């Protein structure tokens, strides 16, 4: 399997587990159900113009790692498999010397990844306020960690680094704190 990496999301962020742990049945993310759900969610987002080539233009702002030097954030609700939940979409832009104006003028050219949080139904992951996490490449494919596990679902649950750990450490009662940075 080929491992795809994007410069703004370092391998170290998801490289903390031995391959046997990451690929076990108890893996917190990357399973077939998560991957299928993420594909459905990407379709919902492209149909709503939240992601993809024809996405809605929003004002970019200076970002920070691991999400990129320039970011765009959208917050809305979406319906996936009959469940309506809050959807936070962060478009992560990067590249040598990229500016906010360059991203505004041509957001597709500088897009490195799309990271999302989607509020799933009660009981999905109560310890983490039922958020579903995913990191997509600009094409809509899921990105993978260094062990080849697709980044969808309860991304890095129980780890010292990753989506859940970072958002939990930032504070806020619903793990959304970093979405508006």
If pLDDT is split at 50, 70 and 90, which confidence band does 12 have?
A: very low
pLDDT attached to residue 156: 64
Inform me whether the pLDDT recorded for 165 exceeds 60. no
pLDDT tens digits along 82-108: 999 999 999 999 888 899 999 999 989
Mean pLDDT on 160-172: 58
3-state secondary structure of 94: coil
Predicted TM-score (pTM) of the model is 0.77
Residues 120/87, Cβ–Cβ less than 8 Å = no
pLDDT attached to residue 50: 96
Ranges assigned E (strand) in 24-155: 61-62, 70-80, 83-93, 111-119, 131-136, 152-153
Query: CB under 8 Å to 77, separation ≥6 — which residues?
Result: 84, 85, 86, 87
Residues 136/114, Cβ–Cβ less than 8 Å = yes
pLDDT tens digits along 25-77: 345 677 899 999 999 999 999 999 999 988 998 999 887 777 778 999 999 99
If pLDDT is split at 50, 70 and 90, which confidence band does 121 have?
A: very high
If pLDDT is split at 50, 70 and 90, which confidence band does 14 have?
A: very low
| Domain spans of the chain, in order of start | 11-16+27-180
Mean pLDDT on 132-146: 92
């Amino acid at each position: 399997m080929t491992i795809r990496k994007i410069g703004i999301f370092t391998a170290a962020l998801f490289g903390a587990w031995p391959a046997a742990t990451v690929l076990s049945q108890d893996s917190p993310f990357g399973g077939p159900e998560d991957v299928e759900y993420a594909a459905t969610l990407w379709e919902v987002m492209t149909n709503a113009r939240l992601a993809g080539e024809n996405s809605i233009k929003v004002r970019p702002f200076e970002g920070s790692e691991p999400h990129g030097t320039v970011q765009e954030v959208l917050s809305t609700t979406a319906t996936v498999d009959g469940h309506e939940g809050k959807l936070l979409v962060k478009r992560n832009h990067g590249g040598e010397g990229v500016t906010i104006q360059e991203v505004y003028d041509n957001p597709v050219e500088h897009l490195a990844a799309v990271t999302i949080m989607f509020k799933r139904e009660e009981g999905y992951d109560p310890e983490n306020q039922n958020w579903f996490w995913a990191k997509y490449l600009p094409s809509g494919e899921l990105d993978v960690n260094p062990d080849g596990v697709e980044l969808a679902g309860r991304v890095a649950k129980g780890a010292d680094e990753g989506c859940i750990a970072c958002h939990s450490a930032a504070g806020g009662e619903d793990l959304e704190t970093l979405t508006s940075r």
